[in-house]
Amino acid sequence: MTRQPPQRSRTRPVAGVVFHNAAVPDWQLLEAFFGISLTSASRTVVDIARTSSFVQGVVVADCALRLDKTSHPELMHVARSCKQWPGIEQAKKVIMFGDGNADSVLESCARVAFAEAGLESPELQAQVVVGATAYRVDFLWRKYRTIAEADGLAKYAEPQDLRRQFERDRKLRAARYQVVHFTWREIFSTPDYVVVQIREAFGAMPGETQG
């Protein structure tokens, strides 16, 4: 929101609302809707990445990239224009980490948990071919033949969804892939448990060692 006259450039709470005051040049604004000017998607992503946690910034950046609302070059251009602002170094890390192939909030949060645990970066929404069938998987560590699936509630909305997933897992495991499933609760409450399962899957492949 625009506040007139401009306030001092510091964060202060007012009646439970925290205002972050910062200049917004014209090229970072969208056309007004109903008399309200909006910051561009790129500027909004950078501001959230500056003022929120790293994982919250990644969730927003991944979503904006996935929906083609912005791009890495656009985000870096905005970040460079804010180079002396609080939180900009974290925002740059978010931009570098952002990936539009993350297909959900859960996947974005899981990516952060995996990186913090020191796991190698997986392929996102990768294709695994088994016989004449191509399966799209959430996370793939190809050299370890390990797949991880983020199980949000919407994934198994109908009973047949669970049956199809079971059959798919059976075929993937028959093709010598390790398959690990995790839920919202696990990635937020016990991320170490999920990481241990993935590391064990890495080690389950004969002749493979984790780097």
Note the helical H segments in the chain: 41-51, 54-66, 72-81, 88-97, 105-116, 159-174, 184-189, 191-203
Average pLDDT over residues 104-125: 96
User: Can you name the residues that pair with 151 across neighbouring β-strands?
Assistant: 183
Q: Whose structure tokens read 């399962």?
A: 197
Q: Structure pTM?
A: 0.82
| Greatest Cα pair distance in the chain | 68
Q: Which two tokens stand for residue 167?
A: 């059959």
Instruction: Report long-range pairs for 84-92 (Cβ below 8 Å, ≥24 apart).
Output: 85/22, 85/50, 86/50, 86/51, 87/49, 87/50, 87/51, 88/46, 88/50, 90/49, 90/50, 90/54, 90/57, 91/46, 91/49, 91/50, 91/57
HSE (side-chain half, CA atoms, 13 Å) at 102 = 22
Averaged pLDDT for residues 43-51: 95
pLDDT over threshold 60, residue 161: yes
Peptide bond into 86 cis (omega under 30): no
**pLDDT confidence of residue 210:** 45
Amino acid at 114: F
**What is the tens place of the pLDDT at every residue in 63-87?**
999 999 999 999 999 999 988 889 9
How big is the chain by its Cα radius of gyration, in Å? Answer: 21
pLDDT in tens, 10-45: 555 567 777 767 777 777 777 766 777 888 999 999
Q: At what angle do helices 105-116 and 191-203 cross, to 10 degrees?
A: 70
DSSP 8-state code for residue 113: H
Domains of the chain with bracketed CATH: 12-97 (no CATH), 105-203 (3.40.960.10)
Whether the per-residue pLDDT at 195 is higher than 80: the answer is yes
pLDDT at 24: 78
- 53-71 mean pLDDT: 97
